[in-house]
Amino acid sequence: MLIGLCLLSFPLVACGGEVEEAKPADAPTPPTEAAEVEAPEDLQIVQVRVEGDEYLFSPPGVRAGFPVRLIFDPAGLPGCSRDVAIPDFQIAKVISPEDATIEFTPETQGPVSVACSMDMYRGELRVE
């Protein structure tokens, strides 16, 4: 009689354990990881001005894999140098005082070419 009761109670315990899945304990982890990836301090700010027929970047280089924001000085962009093209990222934009920034994320190392739409003014932003 005692052995019979023991055997009967085993499947009941096993079944109860399966219903209570351990998922609630795992759930809070992914949101914390996502918040770290979106951290805004990864943004790299680069000031851009033109000297002669060259775009100059300050700082001259950025790190690959992090977003870059180019901030142009509209007053320091002669003629068509404000008509900016970055072919690697299919970007073409006319810089104005109201909108003087261009953003992109370089995923690989190597120079990124910046030129005016007619390729008269040129510059290279280093990506390391």
Q: Is the peptide bond preceding residue 67 cis, with omega within 30 degrees of 0?
A: no
Residues within the interface to Cu ion (CB under 5 A): 80, 116, 118, 120
**Closer CB to Cu ion, residue 48 or residue 116?**
116
Cβ atoms within 10 A of the Cβ of 62, count? 22
**Closer CB to Cu ion, residue 55 or residue 62?**
55
Min separation Cβ 95 and Cu ion, Å: 13
Question: Do 125 and 112 touch, CB atoms closer than 8 A?
Answer: yes
Min separation Cβ 117 and Cu ion, Å: 6
Min separation Cβ 75 and Cu ion, Å: 18
**Closer CB to Cu ion, residue 112 or residue 116?**
116
Cβ atoms within 10 A of the Cβ of 46, count? 18
How large is the C-alpha radius of gyration of the chain? Answer: 29
